[in-house]
């Protein structure tokens, strides 16, 4: 009997070892870390939770329209539309003159909305640089405006207490050496030169704007990029050595087998998962324990300024729900804005910022520095938990008609205190309705934005009597 057991254990161990060997492909340029970064810079990023994305460039001038026709794709992609000649697009910079650009005002609006970080497009796929790069002529310096956009923006946002991140596209439609795939030796030589150019521009950005906290890379899906995993690895290490603590999402990297975001062993590369674009995870299982960030447009799929927003435009309440959902699943949420060519924001965006800001002013505590609460999700909305504490927030997006919000706690926990965020002094009286189960009554009225209830959880002292399981 004993020998049987021993043999069984040995067999199991052997199977486990075999499975491990089979699952692990030796990689030189895969993930270099298992699990999330734990340093202070990453902890800071993780607590910010809410960011502002800005897509701005010469594409704001046509604003999704050319010769009276509407481009139905994303406005910042208009150069790739057959109706618009490349030559016409490539002359637009001669008209770029955002005389009303006021970065101090931008930063103020972002702060009032509640954003704790911003991401600005230093260079999108068209190759136009919003900073006067010494490695390109196609920059803000060649426009009638002439002045750097990025520096004053980073400074103004930092002064408003907002961290700055730089978006940078690897795709560069303006650069003669950029390639999507490498078919000839000449292509390889060109792409080799292009990679040096990219490295130079990135170093230049870090040298010019030393307070930036990270890069947000894009356009890394082409073969020419993803088939050189070694270069993406070296580049990431180079940048992080130049600028210790720098945060880089998973969109920069590929491994030597061309796997992107996750290496061939399914381990996350980069500092957080950067694939949540205009969609969010639904459960905590979907994020696999990784840090992540979701980026969202206000209309369906417009990043740059488009004169005609077609289709559904998201409301402040929808955005707030997405933001809270992200925090409840350990992620950051970034909302995009596309300023007009004169440097101002469209009215819809300004109103949206104010709407979100009004709510954040009262309820921001339920977002910043919070994460997954570890409680069973309920139909009324989302729980967040102030990281490392017993304070939980209920963000109620759907108030039930019976006026009671169900809360189910893990065994042995109880609600010590409950309060409404809009009136923190007024206690809410939870009703015990079962073992570890409560109803939180809410006032019957019309709710025009998500209601937030704070809970202080405690260790339960005695068992809650009188609740028996039904015998079936
Ligand atoms: C890219 C850009 O092409 C677009 O213009 C914008 O800048 C956006 C933020 O990024 O578009 C993408 C990139 C990745 C996905 C979808 C659109 N994705 O992973 O689903």
E strands, 180-228, in order: 214-218
The pTM (predicted TM-score) of the whole model is 0.94
250 Cα: distance to centroid of ligand 1 (angstroms):
13
HSE-CB at 390 with a 13 A cutoff on CA atoms is 13
Distance 219 CA to ligand 1 centre (A): 7
How far is residue 220's CA from residue 304's CA, in Å, rounded to a whole number? Answer: 19
126 lines ligand 1 (CB under 6 A): no
Query: Which of 277, 296, 338 is the pocket-test mutation for ligand 1 (most atoms within 8 Å of CB)?
Result: 277
Per-residue pLDDT, 356: 99
Digits of tens for pLDDT over the chain (472 positions)?
456 565 565 555 555 554 555 568 999 999 999 999 999 999 999 999 999 999 999 999 999 999 999 999 999 999 999 999 999 999 999 999 999 999 999 999 999 999 999 999 999 999 999 999 999 999 999 999 999 999 999 999 999 999 999 999 999 999 999 999 999 999 999 999 999 999 999 999 999 999 999 999 999 999 999 999 999 999 999 999 999 999 999 999 999 999 999 999 999 999 999 999 899 999 999 999 999 999 999 999 999 999 999 999 999 999 999 999 999 999 999 999 999 999 999 999 999 999 999 999 999 999 999 999 999 999 999 999 999 999 999 999 999 999 999 999 999 999 999 999 999 998 899 999 999 999 999 998 999 999 999 999 999 876 566 677 777 7
How far apart (Å, rounded) are the C-alpha atoms in residues 333 and 400?
27
Residue having the nearest C-alpha atom to atom 9 of ligand 1 = 303
Model confidence pLDDT, tens digit, residues 22-37: 568 999 999 999 999 9
What pLDDT was estimated at residue 438? Answer: 97
How many whole angstroms from 114 Cα to the centroid of ligand 1? Answer: 24
Nearest C-alpha neighbor of 305 from the set 147, 92, 33: 92
pLDDT value, residue 250: 98
26 alpha carbon to ligand 1 midpoint, in Å?
Answer: 31
Q: Domains plus CATH for the chain?
A: 3-366 (3.20.20.80), 373-459 (2.60.40.1180)
| pLDDT at site 324 | 98
- Nearest alpha carbon, ligand 1 atom 19: 275
State residue 42's pLDDT score: 98
Element (H, E) at 348: helix 347-363
- Report the residue among 57, 297, 303, 305 best suited for mutation to probe ligand 1: largest number of ligand atoms under 8 A from its CB: 303
C-alpha–C-alpha distance, residues 337 and 304, integer Å: 7
d(CA 146, CA 29): 41
């Amino acid at each position: 009997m004993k020998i049987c057991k021993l043999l069984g254990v040995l067999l199991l161990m052997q199977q486990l070892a075999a499975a491990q060997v089979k699952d692990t492909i030796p990689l030189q340029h895969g993930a270099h870390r298992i699990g999330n970064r734990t340093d202070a810079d990453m902890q800071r990023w993780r607590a910010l939770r809410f960011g502002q994305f800005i897509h701005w460039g010469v594409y704001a001038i046509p604003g999704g329209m050319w010769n009276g026709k509407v481009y139905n794709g994303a406005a910042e992609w208009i150069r790739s539309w057959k109706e618009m000649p490349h030559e016409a697009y490539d002359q637009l910079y001669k008209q770029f003159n955002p005389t009303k650009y006021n970065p101090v005002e931008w930063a103020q609006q972002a702060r009032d909305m509640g954003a704790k970080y911003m991401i600005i497009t230093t260079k999108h796929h068209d190759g136009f640089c919003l900073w006067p790069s010494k490695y390109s002529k196609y920059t803000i310096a060649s426009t009638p405006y002439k002045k750097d956009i990025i520096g004053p923006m980073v400074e103004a946002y930092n002064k408003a207490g907002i961290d700055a991140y730089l978006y940078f596209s690897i795709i560069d439609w303006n650069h003669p050496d950029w390639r999507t795939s490498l078919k000839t030796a000449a292509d390889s030589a060109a792409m080799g030169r292009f990679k040096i150019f990219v490295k130079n521009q990135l170093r230049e950005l870090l040298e010019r704007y030393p307070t930036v906290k990270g890069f947000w890379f894009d356009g890394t899906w082409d073969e020419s990029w993803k088939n050189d995993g070694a270069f993406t690895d070296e580049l990431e290490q180079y940048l992080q050595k130049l600028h210790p603590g720098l945060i880089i999402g998973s969109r920069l990297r590929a491994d030597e087998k061309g796997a992107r975001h996750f290496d061939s062993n399914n381990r996350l590369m980069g500092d957080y998962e950067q694939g949540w674009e205009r969609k969010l995870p639904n459960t905590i299982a979907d994020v696999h324990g990784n840090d992540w960030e979701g980026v969202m447009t206000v209309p369906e799929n417009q990043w740059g300024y488009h004169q005609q927003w077609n289709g559904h435009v998201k409301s402040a309440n929808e955005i707030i729900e997405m933001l809270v959902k992200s925090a409840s699943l350990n992620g950051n949420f970034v909302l995009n804005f596309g300023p007009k060519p004169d440097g101002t924001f469209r009215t819809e965006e300004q109103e949206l910022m104010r709407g979100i800001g009004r709510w954040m002013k009262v309820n921001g505590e339920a977002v910043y520095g919070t994460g997954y609460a570890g409680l069973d999700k309920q139909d009324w909305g989302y729980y967040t938990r102030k990281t490392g504490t017993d304070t939980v927030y209920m963000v109620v997006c759907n108030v039930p008609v019976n006026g009671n919000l169900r809360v189910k706690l893990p065994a042995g926990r109880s609600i010590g205190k409950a309060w409404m965020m809009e009136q923190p002094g007024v206690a809410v009286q939870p009703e015990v309705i079962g073992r570890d189960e409560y109803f939180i009554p809410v006032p019957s009225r019309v709710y025009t934005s998500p209601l937030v209830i704070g809970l202080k959880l405690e260790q339960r002292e005695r068992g809650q009597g009188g609740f028996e399981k039904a015998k079936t």
